[in-house]
A and B are shown apart, each in its own frame.
Chain A
Amino acid sequence: MTTTVPQRVSKNIHPHKFVMWVAMGGIIMMFAGLTSAYIVKKNQSSWLQFDLPIEFYYSTAVIVISSISMFLSAKAIKAGKFSQYKIMISITAMLGIIFILLQYLGFKDLQARNIAIVGPKSNSAASFLFVITFLHMMHVLGGVIALLVFWVKAIRSSVEKSSLMSVEVMGTYWHFVGVLWIYLFLFYNWIG
């Protein structure tokens, strides 16, 4: 007990990163629950068939591009290119905002086609699409807020060693919400 305990080095991933992975497991379960409910409900009576709003196709492209810019910003900070990191992280945040706007326009598009998403005239098909997409939007919004915090930090201070890990955690989350949307997008197209 009195001998020096050698530091446990690097075989394990950082606990914060690990927490993010487990949290992603939880989020997956939530969307798994919702999409299974969707399937159950779809097989019951009075399910409305309609085309996905075209905006969702654009938003899919936007979130894929934002994943690339997130990847580049992590790469930049690893290489010590701080100005490039600042640009990339702000681009990612902007693309996140654009994604949210496009989803919103998608809902508008549904309304314009007289497909009610909530209220007494709504059909579960549209309501499900709205609720699931809305929850995903909230997760993206959380990511955007975090990205903006990173961006403000980057403007205010110079590179810190510790921020590398948190940028990696941020990147993991951002790629995750991207993949989650792609799953949902495929799900809507495949099943709905």
Chain B
Amino acid sequence: MSNEAVLHAHSGAHDGHEDHSHEHHHQSFISKYVFSQDHKMIAKQFLITGMVWAVLGGFMSVLFRLQLGYPDANFPWLETILGKWAKGGHISPEAYYALVTTHGTVLVFFVLTAGLSGTFANFLIPLQIGARDMASPFMNMLSYWFFFAASIVMLSSIFVETGPFSGGWTAYPPLSALGDASPGSKSGMDLWIVSMALFVVSSLLGGLNYIATILNMRTKGMSMTRLPLTIWALFFTAVLGVLSFPVLFSGFILLIFDRNFGTSFYLSDIFINGVGALPNEGGSAILYQHLFWFLGHPEVYIILLPAMGMVSEILSVNSRKPIFGYMAMIGSLFAIAILAFLVWAHHMFVTGLNPFLGSVFVLLTLLIAVPSAIKVFNWLTTLWKGNIRFTPGMLFAIGFVSLFISGGLTGIWLGNSALDIHLHDTYFVIAHFHIVMGVASMFGMFAGIYHWFPKMYGRFMNNTLAYIHFWVTFAGAYMIFWPMHYEGLAGMPRRYYDYSIWESFKQFQDLNQFISLVAMIVFAVQFLFLFNFFYSIFKGRKVTTMNPWEANTLEWTAPIHPGHGNWPGEIPEVYRWAYDYGKDGVDFIPQTTPVGADESVEH
């Protein structure tokens, strides 16, 4: 009833009992491709916008890696594209910090939050739970357009005279609160905060929809414990977003007041060179850090959980085995979601935090190892003795598991407040979070794209290009970030512009050069993926069967090119969980197959 109600309420033409495919004749270009309310089109909009940002954000990292790898070299072409920010072909310190900041903001929020969960929550939730669309397709459309507006504002900040914000993606005051603190703190910061406010609205609108859709609009027979793990992961992701983004927003509001209306929430009587002492009194910059990290930590799980969910699904499909420990997987997702809210101060061990309080956060942080280990164990046991099909999606899923293990282990180091005193703000931290959250989630995203591309566009991507893309990216990711652990252990700090002038860090010059070189190669290889993606949309091998991967979930029971409403006629009914692979000697049993009389009972 809810399903029909929603489509009726918003686009009267849709009727659950008729064939949807012929409706395309009535849709204009604008309503089909631009202001679309179809969750599948919105998903593609999120994906392609995310890709644009990934290219921009990735290119920024190439630029600042040039500085780190070749601090003495001049690249005249840099002046051509960056102008005054790279006088004489040498990136200026201001530009360096602006690049690092924008790279972080863009990758964390625009690529791995909007691009990842925006794409796959929109695409998979209605298709995998058996719904015609989201609870509110209109809000869903708004969610994308708020993200688009945020993108435009962020993009425009790159072009203002004083440059984009340059105080780090965390936007700590006083750099973010005082226009006089640095060039990037002027209008670049204004645009940054407007963009982020729009982004928060986008995330909230999306998250509300995902939760309501999953809880209310499942098809008949689709109980919560029959949901594919992708949906569980996207559900917890949305819950985390809805509960933590508003707190970030409250932190931003106080920041706006400090910045523009002279209040003293974060600012105190700081002395600025050339300006003098501020009239502010008694503000606390640490207060901002608490509000920021209360979002900031859940944010890493907002990024990671969708990847975990998709990887679970892809591993099971391509191992031709049920996922190992389905309930444990849900339980560990739940545990991670709860713990996500209780560990934020581990980002703040060196802020003068009370050591006793710190020890509580150490304990809670290390507890995350438990659900994480459960997940890793279950992924490995799903692979164990599986009849593995090494599709590109599968390779990226296995790559995800590898990266999650490697990056997760260093999390145990950093979670200790005593060790963190040495490791904080070193390259060790960069290595840790890039592997465990950045690259791992990118791998989850690639896995998802390769796996669901046939459902999105009715064609396959090219496998050869995909394999090259995988192996170079996988090897490259380790070659870039593994050496950073050594640099970090040796005390090499983050965020420095030029290490060659430091006696202690000069020794890493060659290593930095190596990292930069690999980073450029890996960046270049992503264009193989992009070419593969866009070429395959139009020219890829056509999908000829509804279920090319022989998977159990509902999206593969929809037509190859589903219309708005997803299923012509009735929504299929569900009789079993999503992981009946190799049961009773049958390779796979879709969720829509009724349980046979002589079937064995377990699940």
A residues adjacent to B (C-beta < 8 A): 1-10, 12-16, 18-19, 22-23, 25-27, 29-34, 37, 40-41, 44-46, 118-124, 127-128, 131, 135, 162
With A16-B136, A19-B135, A26-B245 known as contacts, the answer to whether A118 contacts B263 (CB < 8 A) is: yes
What's the minimum C-beta distance from B230 to chain A, rounded to whole angstroms? Answer: 20
Residues of chain B lying within 8 A (CB to CB) of residue A27: 246
With A26-B243, A118-B263, A124-B265 known as contacts, the answer to whether A15 contacts B213 (CB < 8 A) is: yes
* A22 and B249 within 8 A (CB): no
* A15 and B282 within 8 A (CB): no
* A33 and B250 within 8 A (CB): yes
C-alpha gap A40/B282 in the complex (Å): 12
* B212 and A15 within 8 A (CB): yes
Closest partner residue, chain A, to B593 (CB atom): A1
C-alpha gap A189/B274 in the complex (Å): 43
* A30 and B254 within 8 A (CB): no
Residues of chain B lying within 8 A (CB to CB) of residue A162: 9
Is B570 interfacial (CB-CB < 8 Å)?
yes
* B246 and A29 within 8 A (CB): yes
* B242 and A26 within 8 A (CB): yes
C-alpha gap A122/B204 in the complex (Å): 32
Q: Which of A18, A122, A128 contacts B215 (CB 8 A)?
A: A18
C-alpha gap A15/B10 in the complex (Å): 13
* A1 and B572 within 8 A (CB): yes
The contact string, 1 if C-beta is below 8 Å from chain A, for chain B 1-24, is 110111001000000000000000
Is B79 interfacial (CB-CB < 8 Å)?
no
Residues of chain B lying within 8 A (CB to CB) of residue A3: 573
Residue in A6, A15, A32, A120 whose Cβ sees the most chain B Cβ within 10 Å = A15
* A33 and B246 within 8 A (CB): yes
Is B592 interfacial (CB-CB < 8 Å)?
yes
* B2 and A12 within 8 A (CB): yes
Q: Which of A26, A37, A40, A118 contacts B204 (CB 8 A)?
A: A26
* B244 and A12 within 8 A (CB): no
From residue 264 to 286 of chain B, which have CB atoms closer than 8 A to chain A? 264-265, 279-284
B residues adjacent to A (C-beta < 8 A): 1-2, 4-6, 9, 135-136, 139, 204, 207-209, 211-213, 215-217, 219-220, 242-247, 249-251, 253-254, 257, 261-265, 279-284, 287, 290-291, 294, 557, 570-573, 592
* B290 and A10 within 8 A (CB): no
Instruction: Beyond A1-B573, A46-B282, list 16 extra A-B contacts (CB 8 Å).
Output: A1-B572, A7-B1, A8-B1, A14-B5, A18-B211, A18-B215, A22-B211, A23-B208, A26-B245, A30-B250, A37-B265, A37-B287, A118-B262, A121-B279, A123-B282, A135-B253
Residues of chain A lying within 8 A (CB to CB) of residue B136: 15-16, 19
* A18 and B216 within 8 A (CB): yes
* A25 and B213 within 8 A (CB): no
C-alpha gap A27/B246 in the complex (Å): 7
C-alpha gap A9/B216 in the complex (Å): 11
Residues of chain A lying within 8 A (CB to CB) of residue B284: 40-41, 44
With A9-B1, A22-B208, A127-B264 known as contacts, the answer to whether A40 contacts B242 (CB < 8 A) is: no
Residues of chain B lying within 8 A (CB to CB) of residue A2: 570
What's the minimum C-beta distance from A32 to chain B, rounded to whole angstroms? Answer: 7
* B216 and A15 within 8 A (CB): yes
Instruction: Please list 26 pairs of residues, one from A and one from B, whose beta carbons are closer than 8 Å in the complex, sorted by A's number.
Output: A5-B570, A9-B1, A12-B2, A14-B5, A15-B217, A19-B208, A19-B212, A25-B243, A26-B243, A31-B250, A33-B246, A33-B247, A33-B250, A33-B251, A33-B291, A34-B250, A37-B250, A37-B287, A44-B284, A118-B262, A118-B263, A120-B280, A122-B264, A124-B265, A128-B265, A135-B253
* A37 and B291 within 8 A (CB): yes
* B290 and A40 within 8 A (CB): yes
Closest partner residue, chain A, to B220 (CB atom): A5
What's the minimum C-beta distance from B571 to chain A, rounded to whole angstroms? Answer: 6
Residues of chain A lying within 8 A (CB to CB) of residue B262: 118-120, 122
What's the minimum C-beta distance from A38 to chain B, rounded to whole angstroms? Answer: 10
* A29 and B290 within 8 A (CB): no
C-alpha gap A27/B243 in the complex (Å): 8
* B264 and A37 within 8 A (CB): no
With A29-B244, A33-B250 known as contacts, the answer to whether A18 contacts B279 (CB < 8 A) is: no
C-alpha gap A146/B211 in the complex (Å): 23
Closest partner residue, chain B, to A46 (CB atom): B282
* B242 and A22 within 8 A (CB): yes
Residues of chain B lying within 8 A (CB to CB) of residue A26: 204, 207-208, 242-243, 245-246
Residues of chain A lying within 8 A (CB to CB) of residue B9: 162
Closest partner residue, chain A, to B221 (CB atom): A5
Residues of chain A lying within 8 A (CB to CB) of residue B290: 37, 40
* B249 and A13 within 8 A (CB): no
Closest partner residue, chain B, to A2 (CB atom): B570
C-alpha gap A159/B263 in the complex (Å): 49
* B1 and A13 within 8 A (CB): no
Residues of chain A lying within 8 A (CB to CB) of residue B570: 1-2, 4-5
* B246 and A14 within 8 A (CB): no
C-alpha gap A91/B250 in the complex (Å): 32
Closest partner residue, chain B, to A35 (CB atom): B250
* B287 and A23 within 8 A (CB): no
With A14-B2, A26-B243 known as contacts, the answer to whether A122 contacts B263 (CB < 8 A) is: yes
C-alpha gap A19/B213 in the complex (Å): 9
Residues of chain A lying within 8 A (CB to CB) of residue B287: 37, 40-41
* B261 and A119 within 8 A (CB): yes
C-alpha gap A118/B263 in the complex (Å): 5
What's the minimum C-beta distance from A29 to chain B, rounded to whole angstroms? Answer: 4
Residues of chain B lying within 8 A (CB to CB) of residue A18: 135, 211-212, 215-216
Residues of chain A lying within 8 A (CB to CB) of residue B265: 37, 41, 124, 127-128
Residues of chain A lying within 8 A (CB to CB) of residue B257: 118, 127, 131
Closest partner residue, chain A, to B594 (CB atom): A1
Residues of chain B lying within 8 A (CB to CB) of residue A4: 570
C-alpha gap A23/B96 in the complex (Å): 39
What's the minimum C-beta distance from A21 to chain B, rounded to whole angstroms? Answer: 9
With A1-B573, A44-B282 known as contacts, the answer to whether A30 contacts B261 (CB < 8 A) is: no
What's the minimum C-beta distance from B476 to chain A, rounded to whole angstroms? Answer: 39
With A30-B249, A119-B261, A124-B265 known as contacts, the answer to whether A37 contacts B1 (CB < 8 A) is: no
Residues of chain B lying within 8 A (CB to CB) of residue A7: 1, 4
What 8 A-B pairs have minimum CB-CB distances, sorted nearest first?
Answer: A15-B135, A30-B246, A120-B279, A33-B247, A118-B261, A33-B250, A127-B263, A46-B282
Residues of chain B lying within 8 A (CB to CB) of residue A8: 1-2, 220
Residues of chain A lying within 8 A (CB to CB) of residue B208: 19, 22-23, 26
What's the minimum C-beta distance from B531 to chain A, rounded to whole angstroms? Answer: 39
What's the minimum C-beta distance from B285 to chain A, rounded to whole angstroms? Answer: 12
Residues of chain A lying within 8 A (CB to CB) of residue B220: 5-6, 8
